[in-house]
Structure formats: structure tokens, C-alpha cells
Amino acid sequence: MTSTAPVIRNLAEKLDTALRGKVPMPHFAVSESLSELADAYAVQTAWTAMRVARGEKIVGRKIGLTAKAVQEQLGVDQPDYGTLWESSFHKTKNGQVTVSAADFIAPRIEGEVAFLIGKSLKGPNITPEQVLAATDACALGVEIVDSRIADWKIKIGDTIADNASYGGFALGPWDKALRDADLAAVKMIQSQNGAVVGEGTGAAVLGSPLISCTWLANKLAEFDVGLEPGDVVISGALMKMLPFKAGDKFVFALEGQPDLTVTII
């Protein structure tokens, strides 16, 4: 890490202000101030620490940039990760969840496979087999992504510092059988306002959500962090993310799982 601690703290404070005020920062405002990606993760960590000091709780991790097309778009060759905050967990009831568009700046939505970690898991050199053994169950996951950088004009350093462009998440019921399924082959269909708008399989996520989760366990080890029992991991989108507005209704159908309906108000 080569950027100074005051620079990192200042950027974390600016991102926090953008989130709370719903006023985005200028294009590339973060990445232009950082020397390397480790500094971007340091900004992310400092920002989460600010939130924890105010009472926030960490409930897991999210993985982003898992699609090759998105990596190519940003000129990167690796995924990134962010932190799941309890305050932005949208609880479901009877397969339904309601989300307010006004809580975000420029929100988008995507469907994923989520993992519930049951045993401590810390790299390096974690294998997919070890991840599977440490996983209690899987579920259909929905992530809301949002950017505190104006117009989504971001570089890799911006999105990493911006908590991997995290906005919030929701989950279907945990299912042990899904954990043991072929996660590369599992299919998801996404509908918006009654029309199918996307289809994909787990293979879109670095080849499999299990491979994505393995990448996370090993990446966290670079920062001396592990996954712990109770952590939720949302592993990356099975299809493209879509913008939303008040009045939209999305239905996510993951093979073998109950549908999850997200109503935007």
C-alpha cells in the first residue's frame, strides 16, 4: 500500500457522505487518488469500519466482476469483493421482498447463488472441495448494486473502494440440496414486469459459483481475513444487471428453488 492513511480516510469519508446524501462523486474520483488496488481495498475497509463504529454489523461478503464481459469492459483480469452490511439486508416473507428505489443513487439488480458458511475458512490455498465442506447450504440470492460514482463511470479502483458497488441484498430460503447440486449448470430466469429479461447458468460466474467463492476465500487471506460461521457470501451474477425504478417488479426463478419476487416502490 502506497497511498497515505489520510488519503484513504478522506476517500472513505467521501464515499460515506455520498451514500448518506445520495449525491454521487465525480467520475473516477477515487481511483485517481490511489496508487494500487490494495489501497482501494484499504478505503473499503476504512469505510466499513466507520459504519461498524456507528453500529453497523458485517454479515458476509459479496463478489463482483465475475463475468468475463464485465472484466473486459473495465480492463481487469480478476473479480473483486465487498462487505455485506446488515442494515441493507432486505428480508423476504413468503417469497416476496419490497425495496425502495429512493434508498439508492443509480441502482441495478441481479440474481446470484448465495452460500451460508458453517465452518471457519481461511486461505491461502483453499480448494473448491474445502469451500463446499465449509458450506451449510445455498440459496437464491438477489443483489442490488449501486455506485457512489456518477453515471457508473468507474475503474476497478473506484468499484473496489466503493464496497464493490454494493447496495443491498435479499435471499430465498437456505437449501442443503442446492449446495450439493451442480452449481455450474443450475439455471436462473429473471423477469421484469411480466416479461423474461434474462437467463443464465452458474457457469457465468467464473465457471461456477463454487469457484467464485473459492476465489474469495483465497483473496481475503491476502488481507489476513477469513470466512466465519454464519457469514453469507453472494457469489456473482448469473446474468446481466438491470436498472430499476419505482413501480418495477422482478421475479427471480432459480432451478429447484422457490421464486423470489422483488417489488420496487
* pLDDT tens digits for range 177-192: 999 999 999 999 999 9
CA distance linking residue 47 with residue 16, whole number of Å: 7
pLDDT, tens digit, for every residue of 66-102?
A: 987 677 766 777 899 999 999 999 999 999 999 999 9
Q: What is the pLDDT of residues 28-73, one digit of tens each?
A: 989 999 989 999 999 999 999 999 999 999 999 999 999 876 777 6
Q: Work out the angle between the directed axes of helices 5-21 and 37-53 (0-180°, nearest 10).
A: 60
- pLDDT tens digit sequence for 125-159: 999 999 999 999 999 999 999 999 999 999 999 99
CATH number 3.90.850.10 is the correct assignment for the domain at 58-264: yes
Q: Provide the residue ranges of all domains of the chain, joining segments of one domain with +.
A: 58-264
Mean pLDDT, all residues of the chain: 95
Q: How far apart are the first and last CA of the chain?
A: 42
The single residue listed with the C-alpha cell 429447484 is 256
Give CA angle at 231 (164, 15), nearest 5°. 25
Residue 1 has pLDDT above 70, yes or no: no
